[in-house]
Amino acid sequence: MFIRCNNIENRKKRTSYLELVLFSLFFMLYTNQINSQDSIPAAVDLTEEKELNFQQFFFKALTQKSIGNYQKSIEYLESCNQILPYNATVFFEFSKNYLLLRNTLLAKEYIQRAIKIEASNIWLLKHLVKVYLKENDFKNAIETQKEIVALNPKDSNYLVRLYLRDNNYKEALNLMKVLDKQNRLSSNFKRVKENLENRKRKVLKERKVTTNNETIYKQFENNKSFTLLKQILENEHKNPEALLKYSTEGISLFPAQPYVYLINGKALNSKKEFTKAIRMLKNGIDFVIEDKMEANFYKEIAKAYKGLGNTVEEKNYLDKFKRLNK
């Protein structure tokens, strides 16, 4: 009986030791991904006890974030920061939690602290772009994305997307032409490029419109503005035929506006044209930046797959919708 108890106790010790080794390995891999060798000041020399405490607090912070307890995660990160100040990884996690809490001011402050330590860290820069987009600050998002492209040219297509969302069609088209020549332009952007090249754009100031439906429709005939189109689509939300007609025209006029793709997909779903709806929604989601709209796309795609009887893909997209719609 004594031998059996002793064996159980030894197994527990081995298990605890294994857990510690695995966690230490995870932590080393995680910090190496975010930080280069000179990320932490050379003067830092943690004792074994402090290092263990730091790892435990950091692991708890990640765990709390993964289950949505962002404020609790921040508390553990504060403990990490007391043990090891000026750590880019900790600042990065602070920023991610504050962004999830919709506190863009602190999210930006912490990611900028991290970038001061790791100026060429592409993951930190990508996160900063997300923060700027939450603030609808396209100018700074574009400038930061340019830095990312300088480090990794494969991210050029996302710069195109930002130009389009900022209605900077000239820069978007110029960049798309370059990428097309280099065979690096995505198939979806090739279609957008063709639309922009084949269409003579008229730059008109969007003026205030009345709520009179007839006036809105007449104005849209002469002034193909997105503001007018959106009002028409909102007015026709119960009329699938009209939605399909105007959203199809909207895709031709505004090929980088995700809203028209979403409405087109909804109209196709209501007409039970599920395969077309999936294709249209997947084309449009490339231009989505905001989480709320992305969630709406996933919801419509799930509905289309349900109509096709594809329960696996339906569940897949519903899960994506739920994650973003918390």
* Enclosing domain of residue 95: 49-151
CA 234 to centroid of chain Cα atoms:
26
Q: Is there a domain that residue 147 lies in?
A: yes
> What is the number of other CB atoms lying within 10 angstroms of the CB of residue 208?
5
Which tokens belong to 122?
């592409």
Domain match, 270 and 292 both: yes
Q: Which residues of the chain have pLDDT under 70?
A: 1-46, 199-214, 326
pLDDT of residue 233: 93
Domain match, 54 and 129 both: yes
Domain match, 260 and 310 both: yes
Pick from 154, 87, 88, 97: nearest CA to 120: 88
**Last residue within a domain, chosen from 151, 181, 214:** 151
DSSP annotation of 37 reads T
Pick from 27, 33, 30: nearest CA to 55: 27
Spell out the residues 6+ positions from residue 236 whose beta carbon is closer than 8 angstroms to its own. Answer: 242, 243, 246
Give the whole-angstrom CA distance, residue 82 versus residue 279: 51
Q: Is there a domain that residue 218 lies in?
A: no
Q: Is there a domain that residue 190 lies in?
A: yes
**Last residue within a domain, chosen from 151, 176, 192:** 151
pLDDT of residue 167: 82
Domain match, 181 and 127 both: no
Domain match, 137 and 180 both: no
Domain match, 130 and 158 both: no
Domain match, 144 and 163 both: no
Domain match, 117 and 60 both: yes
Domain with residue 269: its CATH number is: 1.25.40.10
> What is the number of other CB atoms lying within 10 angstroms of the CB of residue 200?
4
Domain match, 315 and 250 both: yes
| H or E element that contains 162 | helix 156-165
> What is the number of other CB atoms lying within 10 angstroms of the CB of residue 41?
11
Q: Is there a domain that residue 256 lies in?
A: yes
pLDDT of residue 237: 86
Q: Is there a domain that residue 108 lies in?
A: yes
Type of residue at 200: K
pLDDT of residue 287: 85
Q: How many domains, in total, are found in the chain?
A: 3
Q: Is there a domain that residue 88 lies in?
A: yes
Q: Is there a domain that residue 7 lies in?
A: no
pLDDT of residue 326: 63
pTM of model > 0.75: no
Do residues 188 and 166 lie in contact, with contact meaning Cβ atoms separated by under 8 Å? Answer: no
Domain match, 117 and 53 both: yes
167 φψ region: left (φ > 0), alpha (ψ -120 to 50), beta (else): left
Domain match, 250 and 186 both: no
Q: Is there a domain that residue 134 lies in?
A: yes
**Last residue within a domain, chosen from 82, 116, 151:** 151
Give the whole-angstrom CA distance, residue 271 versus residue 269: 5
Domain match, 111 and 192 both: no
Do residues 229 and 253 lie in contact, with contact meaning Cβ atoms separated by under 8 Å? Answer: yes
